Chains A and B, each alone.
Chain A
Amino acid sequence: MCVQHNCSGCVSRRECLKLMGLSAVGAAAWTTSAAAAESEGPGPTDFVDPAKLRPKPEVRIMASFLEMPRPYWLGWPGTAYDLDARQKEYRELLAQSAQRLGIQVDLRPQPINNEADLTAWINQIKQQQPHATLVILQHFACWGWASMVAKQSGLPLIIFSPIGMAFTGHVAGPARTPGIYVVSSLDWHAVEDGLRMVRAKRMFEETRVLWIRGNQRNETVLERLGTKVRAIPRDTFNQEFDKQPVTEEVKELAAQLRKQAAKIVEPNEQDTLNSMRAYVTAKRLLARENANALSMDCLGMVEAKLVPTPPCGAWTLLQDQGLTAGCEADLWGAMSMMLTSYLLDRPGYMNDPVPETVHNTLIAAHCTSGTRIDGFDKPPAPYILRNHSESALGVAMQVLWPEGQPVTLVRFTGPNDLIVDTGKVVGNVQTPPAGGCRTSVEIAMDAVEDCRDVQGFHQVVTLGNHFRVLRGFCELYGIKLVRSPRFSTFI
Chain B
Amino acid sequence: MNRWLYGSGGWTGLLGLVVGVGSFGWSLAAEPVEFSSPGFPPSRMDSEGRLVEDWGLVAVRLQGQGLTEGSVKVEAVQLDGCIPAAQATADRGPVRMILTAYRSPIFPAGVDVLTVRLEEKAHQPIHVTLALDLPPQVKVDLTTARIENRIVLSVPLETLALQAVRDWGYCNETTAMPGWAKPEGPADPAFANIRAGMGGIPILYRFKVEPNAQALVVLGLCESHYDRRGIRPILCEVEGARPQWVDPIAQWGRHKPGALLFHARDLDADGQIEIAVRPVPGAPDRNPILNVIWVFPPGKPPDLKKLIAGQLSSSAKYYIDVGGQNDQCFYQVGKLQYPIRLSADEVKELTFWVACPGASAPVPETTTWTPASLRQAARQVCQAWQKK
Show the binding face of A for B, using Cβ within 8 Å.
Answer: 38-39, 144, 147, 172-173, 176-178, 208, 216-224, 226, 228-229, 231, 289-290, 415-416, 471, 474-475, 478, 480-481, 483
- With A221-B107, A289-B388, A481-B282 known, 11 other A-B pairs at CB within 8 A are A176-B245, A217-B38, A219-B38, A219-B105, A221-B381, A226-B373, A226-B377, A231-B39, A415-B368, A416-B368, A471-B282
Mask: chain B, 20-50; 1 = CB below 8 Å from A; 0 = not: 0000000000000000011110000000000
A-B contact pairs, 21 of them (CB 8 A): A38-B388, A39-B387, A147-B243, A173-B243, A176-B245, A177-B235, A177-B243, A220-B105, A220-B381, A221-B105, A221-B106, A223-B368, A223-B369, A226-B373, A228-B381, A229-B107, A289-B388, A290-B388, A416-B366, A480-B286, A481-B281
Q: Establish whether residues A217 and B39, one from each chain, have CB atoms under 8 Å apart when the complex forms.
A: yes
Check B110 for interface membership: any CB of A closer than 8 A: yes
On whether A176 and B367 interact (CB within 8 A), knowing A219-B384, A228-B380, the answer reads no
Per the CB 8 Å criterion, the residue count for chain B at the interface is: 37
Please give the residue numbers on chain B whose beta carbons come within 8 Å of chain A beta carbons, in ascending order.
37-40, 104-110, 200, 233, 235, 242-245, 278, 280-282, 284, 286, 362, 366-369, 373, 377, 380-381, 384-385, 387-388
Contact A228 B280 (CB under 8 A): no
**Which residues of B have CB within 8 Å of A471?**
282
A331's nearest neighbour on chain B, judged by CB, is B107
**For B235, what are the chain A residues with a Cβ–Cβ distance below 8 Å?**
173, 176-177
CB distance from A302 to the nearest CB of B (A): 25
- Interface residue from A176, A219, A231, A480 paired with B385 (Cβ < 8 Å): A219
| Whole-angstrom CA separation of A416 from B201 in the bound complex | 12
Interface on chain B toward A: helix, strand, loop, or mixed SS?
loop
Whether A219 and B37, one on each chain, are in contact in the complex, defined by CB atoms closer than 8 angstroms, is yes
Contact B107 A176 (CB under 8 A): no
A220 touches B110 (CB 8 A): yes
Give the residue name and chain of the A residue nearest to B104 (CB).
A221
Measured in the bound complex, the distance between the Cα atoms of B39 and A177 in whole Å is 39
Q: Which residues of A lie under 8 Å from residue B373 when comparing CB positions?
A: 226
On whether the beta carbons of B245 and A172 are closer than 8 Å, the reply is yes
Most central of A177, A229, A475, A483 by chain B CB within 10 Å: A177
Docked CA distance A489–B242 (Å): 38
A220 neighbours in B (Cβ, 8 Å): 37, 105-110, 381
Knowing A219-B39, A219-B385, A220-B110 are in contact, say whether A176-B105 is a contact too (CB < 8 A). Answer: no
Q: Provided the pairs A177-B243, A229-B107, A481-B282 are in contact, do residues A221 and B380 lie with their beta carbons within 8 angstroms?
A: yes
Complex Cα gap A247–B367 (Å)? 48
Shortest CB-to-CB span from A221 to chain B, Å, is 4
A131 to B245 CA separation, bound complex (whole angstroms): 27
Bound Cα distance A173, B373 (Å)? 28
* Distance in angstroms between the alpha carbons of A228 and B384 in the assembled complex: 10
- Complex CA–CA separation, A478 to B110 (angstroms): 22
Q: Are B109 and A176 neighbours in the complex by a CB distance under 8 Å?
A: no
Q: What is the chain A residue whose CB lies nearest that of B282? A: A481
Contacts of A483 in B (CB 8 A): 284
Inter-chain CA distance A220–B369, complex, in Å, is 13
Distance, CA A144 to CA B243, complexed state (A) = 11
CB neighbours (8 Å) of B281 from chain A are 176, 178, 474-475, 478, 480-481
Contact B282 A176 (CB under 8 A): yes
Q: Which residues of chain A come closer than 8 Å to B284, judged between CB atoms?
A: 483
B39, B282, B368: the one contacting A224 at CB < 8 Å is B368
Instruction: State whether B245 touches A219 (Cβ < 8 A).
Output: no
Residues of chain B contacted by A218 (CB below 8 angstroms):
37-40, 105
Residues on the A chain within 8 Å of B367, using CB: 223
Report B257 CB to chain A, min CB distance, Å: 23
The answer to whether A176 touches B106, judged by C-beta atoms less than 8 angstroms apart, is: no
Q: Which residues of A contact B280 (CB under 8 A)?
A: 176
Nearest B residue (CB) for A224:
B368
In the complex the two chains form, what is the Cα distance from A332 to B109 in whole Å? Answer: 16
Contacting residues, chain B, for A475 (C-beta < 8 A): 281-282
How far is the CB of B310 from the nearest CB of chain A, in Å? 30
**Max chain B CB contacts within 10 Å: which of A217, A219, A228?**
A219
> Which residues from chain B contact A208 at a C-beta distance below 8 Å?
384
In Å, the complex CA distance between A208 and B388 comes to: 14
Q: How far is the CB of B239 from chain A (nearest CB, A)?
A: 11
Cβ-defined contact, B368 with A478, below 8 A: yes
Partner of B39, one of A144, A216, A223: A216
A205, closest chain B residue (CB): B380
Which B residues are in CB contact (< 8 Å) with A172?
245
Cα separation A216 to B219 with both chains bound (whole Å) = 52
For A217, the closest partner residue in chain B by CB is B39
- CA of A298 to CA of B106 in the docked complex: distance in angstroms? 25
| Alpha-carbon gap, A289 to B107, bound state (A) | 18
A221-B381, A290-B384 are contacts. A480–B109 as well, Cβ < 8 Å?
Answer: no
CB distance from A454 to the nearest CB of B (A): 16
Chain A residues with CB below 8 A from B362, complex form:
223
- In whole Å, how far is B230's beta carbon from the nearest beta carbon of chain A? 11
Closest 10 pairs between A and B when the two form their complex, measured CB to CB? A218-B39, A221-B377, A220-B107, A39-B388, A224-B368, A176-B280, A220-B105, A219-B381, A173-B245, A222-B107
Measured CB to CB, the closest approach of chain B to A30, in angstroms, equals: 14
* Cβ of B362 to closest chain A Cβ, rounded Å: 8
Nearest-neighbour CB distance to chain B for A385, whole angstroms, equals 37
A73 to B366, CA, bound (A): 46
Shortest distance from the beta carbon of A32 to any chain B beta carbon, whole Å: 17
Chain B residues with CB below 8 A from A231, complex form: 39
A217 to B387, CA, bound (A): 15
Residues of B within 8 A of A229 (CB): 107
**Residues of chain A within 8 A of B107, CB atoms compared:** 220-223, 229
Nearest A residue to B4 via CB reads: A218
A474 to B385, CA, bound (A): 31
- Most A-side CB within 10 Å, residue of B104, B108, B281, B286: B281
| Least CB separation from B373: chain A residue | A226
A193 and B106 CA atoms in complex are apart in Å by 30
Q: Which residues of A contact B385 (CB under 8 A)?
A: 219
Q: Give chain A residues whose Cβ lies under 8 Å from the Cβ of B368.
A: 223-224, 415-416, 478
Q: A11: shortest Cβ distance to chain B, in Å?
A: 32
Q: B242 contacts which chain A residues (CB < 8 A)?
A: 144
Closest B residue by C-beta to A178 = B281
Q: Which residues of B contact A39 (CB under 8 A)?
A: 387-388
Nearest A residue to B368, CB-CB: A224
Distance in Å: Cβ of B143 to nearest Cβ of chain A: 17
Least CB separation from A208: chain B residue: B384
Contacts of A177 in B (CB 8 A): 235, 243
Which A residues are CB-close (under 8 A) to B388? 38-39, 289-290
Closest beta carbon of chain B to A151's beta carbon, Å: 10
